[in-house]
A and B are shown apart, each in its own frame.
Chain A
């Protein structure tokens, strides 16, 4: 009962503080921007801990965050090996290969009306497909090690990025293109000075969606066979052997990595598309 009461009081207090901070004059400072989501997250953790303790939930079903934290600290070595296997080798290499391939393909097919007209509907269609389903096929083609995971990630991120790039390249308006023509700008000049910058909001939209797809792809592919390391392997065996605390520690690693990945892409977006209305003026 003490735990539940404490959690409720903490919840109310944190919400009050957050509302006051968000309404205060300092709401655009970096400190507040970091503190408010942190407090919100802490509230969720406190609620989780309190509910688990209050209802005496078995750690096999839902371990409290404190237990997960202890497991995290005590098994950093395992987590580090899994991180390298899944994130660095599988997800990151696949993401980079897929991104470069999609970007070059978009610029290449953009010059040909025939290919754009033919490939865009197909690319749109494939981007909408549940591509994770090919994971078992690719695992049987490329073997159990990280190559097959990278291949799954390449296929998963390629089409969302491609479609966004092609769509973005069409974003420059006819008036703007005419202006470039009156300047006697060459194809490359128009591409680099007008069309690529205009495409960037779309490109980054695709890149941001792809960050989460890359992690999901790399982890799901490990369900269909992997060496005895990797986050997906650890999660699937952990669920089987009821070491749910280790599974949650892996999930925490995945969450940290994914947020860092997404944050890096967002930072790049902010510096590249500073002119776009959605980036200007913040709260408008």
Chain B
């Protein structure tokens, strides 16, 4: 971990530099429109005319207005600094002013998303691991379940989301988080299932044969060989799974008309034409995902060290 500190910093620095460089060509058209409206002299007049001119020529001809692209209210591509300020405004500053749970605070929206993600992850992982155990042990389950597990993933859950809400409210569940958790579990269980089937099957035939010569029962084979062998796969898939659960929650918040949660912030930002709100919600989601994956990564290291594996 310590060794890769500087390379990560180097690559991150390169990305930030590239980002800043990209802001100028991305925003030049918007910047020129704003400048023209303010009465400044812009070389090809009219934004319709400028649409046919390449951004590089626009930048060369209006070099005085390039800097404006870095301070727009509604940029096509905001600078990292703008995103950071927006993030701080909706998190840290809110906390300072004692409005942590205000409807405009990303901490509040993040907490809503995190709850659904947690329940979805729990449900999805249990279903995934149970399914993998059944598939590796029961031939009939493998034959009948595996193809349908794959097909289930190809159904765009986003389309089912409104119907899940209707059905769950008819059954009597008023809680908004339940449909989101179901969608989240739906996306989460599949990577866990695939990874665990692979992990439970990873012992070589020779190892299985050895246990057979010991007259081990199927349960003993499972406990002593298959389960330990699947642990590296388990944690890798759990990391994928928790990320998928978060994706599921956010996807679930997009078309369901949710008003709270990070996905709802993205949707509202799109509808009101405020790119900064979209970007800050995206980064908040990224931070959340990073925290969840890091948590599982630490757990993986601890477990593998206890099992005597290489870390």
Which A residues contact B (CB, under 8 angstroms)? Answer: 18-19, 21-23, 27, 32-33, 36-37, 39-41, 44, 61-62, 113-122, 124-125, 127-134, 136-137, 140-141, 205, 208-209, 211-212, 215-216, 219-220, 223-224, 231-232, 235-236, 239, 244, 247, 250-251, 254-255, 257-259, 261-262, 277-278, 280-281, 283-284
Contacts and interface: CB of A to CB of B under 8 A. Distances in A.
Tell me the dominant secondary structure on chain A's binding face.
Answer: helix
Nearest to B138: A22
A250 B156 CA distance: 10
A215 B156 contact: yes
Given A19-B140, A133-B266, A136-B270, A128 B289 contact: yes
Interface of B: 3-4, 7-12, 15, 76, 138-140, 142-148, 150-151, 153-160, 162-163, 166-167, 170, 190-191, 194-195, 197-198, 201-205, 208, 239-240, 242-243, 246-247, 250-251, 254-255, 262-263, 266-267, 269-270, 275, 278-279, 281-282, 285-286, 289-290, 292-293
A77 B200 CA distance: 45
Given A61-B166, A133-B263, A262 B150 contact: yes
A62 B197 CA distance: 33
Nearest to A278: B201
Contact of A209 (B143, B154, B191, B292): B191
A137 B147 contact: no
Most A CB contacts (10 A, CB to CB) among B147, B190, B262 go to B147
Contacts of B163: 61-62, 239, 244
B150 A259 contact: yes
Contact of A130 (B142, B203, B247): B247
B197 to A, nearest CB: 8
Contact of A278 (B76, B162, B202): B202
A278 B142 CA distance: 14
Contacts of B240: 128, 209
Contacts of A19: 140
Contacts of A223: 158, 254-255
B156 A251 contact: yes
23 contacts: A22-B140, A40-B148, A61-B167, A62-B167, A114-B10, A117-B4, A118-B10, A119-B11, A128-B239, A131-B247, A132-B247, A132-B254, A133-B285, A137-B279, A205-B195, A208-B194, A220-B254, A223-B158, A235-B156, A255-B154, A278-B198, A278-B201, A278-B202
Contact of A257 (B142, B154, B251, B285): B154
Contacts of A115: 7, 11
User: Looking at B239, B255, B262, which has the most chain A CB atoms within 10 Å of its CB?
Assistant: B255
Contacts of A23: 139-140
Q: Which of B138, B140, B153, B159 gathers the greatest number of chain A CB atoms within 10 Å?
A: B159
Contacts of A250: 159
A258 B143 contact: no
Given A44-B148, A136-B269, 7 more contacts: A36-B144, A128-B240, A130-B243, A133-B263, A133-B285, A251-B155, A278-B202
Contacts of A258: 150-151, 153-155
Nearest to A60: B166
Contact of B278 (A18, A27, A129, A136): A136
Contact of A129 (B138, B195, B243): B243
B278 A122 contact: no
Contact of A280 (B159, B190, B205, B278): B205
Contacts of B162: 239
A277 B203 contact: yes
A139 to B, nearest CB: 8
A216 B251 CA distance: 10
B250 A130 contact: yes
Contacts of B159: 219, 235, 239, 247, 250-251, 254
Given A130-B246, A208-B194, A262 B154 contact: yes
A10 to B, nearest CB: 15
Contacts of A36: 140, 143-144
B7 A118 contact: yes
Contacts of A261: 154
A244 B146 CA distance: 28
Contacts of B15: 122
Contacts of B145: 40
A37 B205 contact: no
Given A127-B243, A130-B289, A133-B278, A283 B139 contact: yes
A184 B150 CA distance: 44
Contact of B4 (A39, A118, A129, A284): A118
A27 B156 contact: no
A236 B163 CA distance: 12
Contacts of B279: 137
A112 to B, nearest CB: 9
A37 B143 contact: yes
Contacts of A128: 239-240, 242-243, 246, 289-290, 292-293
Contacts of A219: 156, 158-159
A137 B275 contact: yes
